[in-house]
């Protein structure tokens, strides 16, 4: 279905009418992501798509249009991945904490992946030029994701596995607890974050989330009951002014 998804392979271009359009959109997103909107030139996009410049203008009238379509397409791709992950909460195992940590970890992997990072950067970058794009992208990603999560949380609450509370708020905060710390640690997506650290962030998010939204029957998380960890935290707190960073000290 997408024979040119790889794009810009050595082939000098198999003339004819294949999926030029799709190839162009893929190449466009790649180039925009790499260079930014203003610095990306249509010529380069055409080359990366294995297509001539006029062909680009033939399919997508101008640069702005090209950009919008490429961004929306990428947003839909990211969203599909995220929704697939959230579906896993439809039947969490006996261990809700483990299930949430798994979902959290997978969401983080998607949200900090190449596509999602580039998408966020591009959207932010063009806030000044195309303010409406923020709404479109947000509506196709965060919005739907929040709704899907809220759906799952609502069912879990009815099943007595989460406290009865506004599921929309729970979803909103669950996502915030995941992505907020990740954004900081990945320096807005410029630094790679190890799987271990990602897992740690997910674990911390789920801990806090379950404190607030967990049903009564599940005790506090193991890491918080561990007297050693707790002691260390308290000791560390008095020395926090002198130490520059406390990340990566010890995982759960």
Partner DNA sequence: ATTACTTTGAACTCATGGGTTCAAGTTGGG
Partner DNA sequence: CCCAACTTGAACCCATGAGTTCAAAGTAAT
For residue 104, state whether it binds a second copy (rule: CB under 8 A).
no
Stretch that binds DNA, among 53-61, 129-137, 179-187, 240-248 (CB under 7 A): 53-61
Options 5, 64, 134, 231; binder of DNA; rule CB under 7 A: 64
For residue 128, state whether it binds a second copy (rule: CB under 8 A).
yes
Options 8, 30, 51, 103; binder of DNA; rule CB under 7 A: 51
For residue 130, state whether it binds DNA (rule: CB under 7 A).
no
**Distance between CA atoms of residues 209 and 167, nearest Å:** 12
**Distance between CA atoms of residues 198 and 8, nearest Å:** 33
**Distance between CA atoms of residues 3 and 6, nearest Å:** 7
CB of 33 to DNA, least distance (A): 15
> Of these partners, a second copy, DNA, none, which one is at the site of residue 194 (CB under 5 to 8 Å by kind)?
none
Interface of this chain with a second copy, residues 31 to 60, rule: CB under 8 A: 33-39
Q: Contact, 27 vs 7, CB < 8 A?
A: yes
Options 26, 29, 32, 63; binder of DNA; rule CB under 7 A: 63
DSSP 90: G
CB of 130 to DNA, least distance (A): 13
> Of these partners, a second copy, DNA, none, which one is at the site of residue 54 (CB under 5 to 8 Å by kind)?
DNA
Stretch that binds DNA, among 56-64, 128-136, 141-149, 239-247 (CB under 7 A): 56-64
63: its two tokens: 């640069």
DSSP 15: -
For residue 17, state whether it binds DNA (rule: CB under 7 A).
yes
Stretch that binds DNA, among 42-50, 106-114, 130-138, 203-211 (CB under 7 A): 42-50
Interface of this chain with DNA, residues 18 to 37, rule: CB under 7 A: 20
Of the candidates 209, 43, 193, 47, which has an alpha carbon nearest to the alpha carbon of residue 117?
193
**Distance between CA atoms of residues 88 and 102, nearest Å:** 9
**Distance between CA atoms of residues 156 and 86, nearest Å:** 13
Per residue, what are the HEC states of 130-168? Answer: CHHHHHHHHHHHHHHHHHHHHHHHHHHHHCCCECCCCHH
**Distance between CA atoms of residues 73 and 76, nearest Å:** 5
Helix, strand, or coil here: 64? helix
Nearer to a second copy, 5 or 237 (CB): 237
Nearer to DNA, 32 or 209 (CB): 32
For residue 43, state whether it binds DNA (rule: CB under 7 A).
yes
Interface of this chain with a second copy, residues 187 to 206, rule: CB under 8 A: 187-190, 204-205
């Amino acid at each position: 279905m997408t024979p040119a998804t790889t794009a810009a392979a050595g082939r000098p271009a198999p003339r004819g009418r294949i999926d030029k359009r799709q190839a162009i959109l893929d190449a466009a997103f790649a180039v925009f992501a790499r260079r930014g909107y203003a610095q990306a030139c249509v010529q380069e996009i055409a080359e990366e798509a294995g297509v001539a410049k006029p062909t680009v203008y033939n399919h997508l009238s101008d640069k702005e249009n090209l950009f919008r379509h490429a961004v929306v397409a990428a947003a839909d791709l990211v969203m599909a991945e995220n929704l697939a992950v959230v579906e896993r909460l439809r039947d969490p195992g006996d261990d809700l904490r483990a299930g949430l940590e798994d979902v959290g970890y997978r969401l983080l992997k998607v949200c900090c992946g190449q596509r999602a990072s580039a998408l966020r950067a591009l959207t932010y970058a063009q806030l000044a030029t195309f303010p409406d794009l923020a709404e479109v992208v947000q509506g196709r990603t965060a919005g739907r994701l929040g709704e899907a999560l809220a759906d799952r949380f609502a069912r879990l609450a009815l099943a007595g596995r989460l406290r009865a509370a506004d599921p929309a708020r729970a979803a909103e905060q669950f996502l915030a607890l995941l992505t907020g710390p990740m954004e900081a640690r990945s320096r807005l997506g410029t630094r790679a974050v190890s799987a271990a650290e990602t897992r740690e962030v997910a674990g911390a998010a789920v801990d806090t989330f379950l404190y607030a939204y967990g049903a009564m029957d599940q005790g506090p998380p193991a890491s918080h009951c561990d007297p050693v960890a707790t002691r260390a935290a308290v000791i560390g707190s008095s020395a926090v002014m002198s130490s520059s960073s406390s990340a990566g000290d010890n995982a759960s």
